[in-house]
Amino acid sequence: MLTWRELRGLILIIVSFRAHTAPPRKIKAVIRALSSRDPDAMTNASEGLLEQTVMIGRVPLNQLFAMGDKRWWYNLSILENIPNPPILRECVSGRVKEYATISPSTFYIVKVHNEFGGKGVDMRKGNDLPPCTKDYVVQRRLVDCNVDVTRHFRVTTLFDGTIFAVHDMRARKLTDIISNGGTQKLCNRQCANMSVVSTNALHTLVNKLAEVHGRQMSNILSCGWDVMLDCDTLSGRMNAYVLEGNVLHSALFPGDGLAAEYRRHVDRYLHKVSSA
């Protein structure tokens, strides 16, 4: 029998899946897992979201609402000196704020403040930016020259400042993350199509994110950070940037073999908060 907290978590999972147009098979997998005797079934079907929604009940609502805004993660990056593409223009409450010159012919990334699952993210030329009807930010477009598709990394860190997993996420379109038809692969310490320089840049940032999570957000079970590599064609350098963090996110995927391990970390988290 599910507890109320678990039932609320299940409802949030289904709403979350529907919000970013998850295939019906994902919804069916969650429903099938309810009657399964396999302890890993629900963790796999929900991609770790069940445990997160159950644990999120322990986090103050005002903190959760604040962390749902992309601006919150940007401000954290500034505070902690985490590389993040600078905000060039911002739309807030119907007013446009300019922080840098926008080139009419250059492509930029536009992100609505309170959206998730790839929604509210678009690539626009400087002369085709949306009207200021929603709060959004405009940032420089990053280009990972190691691959010929859109790639970012989902980095999952834990409440104690450790790294749980690194997934290589690829898609043909900008917003086609795994929920919308993209692909993922667990890669952790050695991801494909990476030079030594790229690998070092990625894992320097990954270690930084884990440390910040353990110090600044130790009451959050796990955090899913979206990270991208960027090729600086002028200097020849490879840089890694964090785009944002998520407190309700896919921490694992069916086939990873990580479900039991994730649940062990949940038990450690519960032991910590119950003895605090």
Q: What are the structural domain ranges in the chain?
A: 4-56, 61-83+143-275, 87-140
- Show the tokens assigned to 247: 């407190």
H helix intervals, the chain:
4-19, 24-34, 41-46, 49-56, 61-67, 70-80, 196-216, 259-275
CB–CB of 44/262 below 8 Å? no
CA 221 – CA 247 distance, rounded (Å): 8
* Predicted pLDDT of residue 116: 61
CA 270 – CA 276 distance, rounded (Å): 10
Fold classified for 61-83+143-275? D-amino Acid Aminotransferase; Chain A, domain 1 (3.30.470)
* Predicted pLDDT of residue 19: 47
Strand order of the β-sheet with 136-140 is: 95-98, 87-92, 136-140, 107-112, 121-125
* Predicted pLDDT of residue 54: 77
Distance between start and end Cα atoms, the chain:
28
CB–CB of 168/151 below 8 Å? yes
- Show the tokens assigned to 140: 């420089």
* Predicted pLDDT of residue 18: 46
Q: What is the pTM of this model?
A: 0.87
pLDDT tens for each residue of the chain, 276 residues long: 455 555 555 555 555 554 444 556 666 666 677 677 787 888 888 889 888 877 887 788 888 888 888 889 999 999 999 999 999 999 999 999 999 999 999 999 999 887 665 567 888 999 999 999 989 999 999 989 888 888 999 999 999 999 999 999 988 766 555 555 678 899 988 899 998 999 999 999 999 999 999 999 999 999 999 999 998 766 668 899 999 999 988 899 888 999 999 999 999 999 988 886
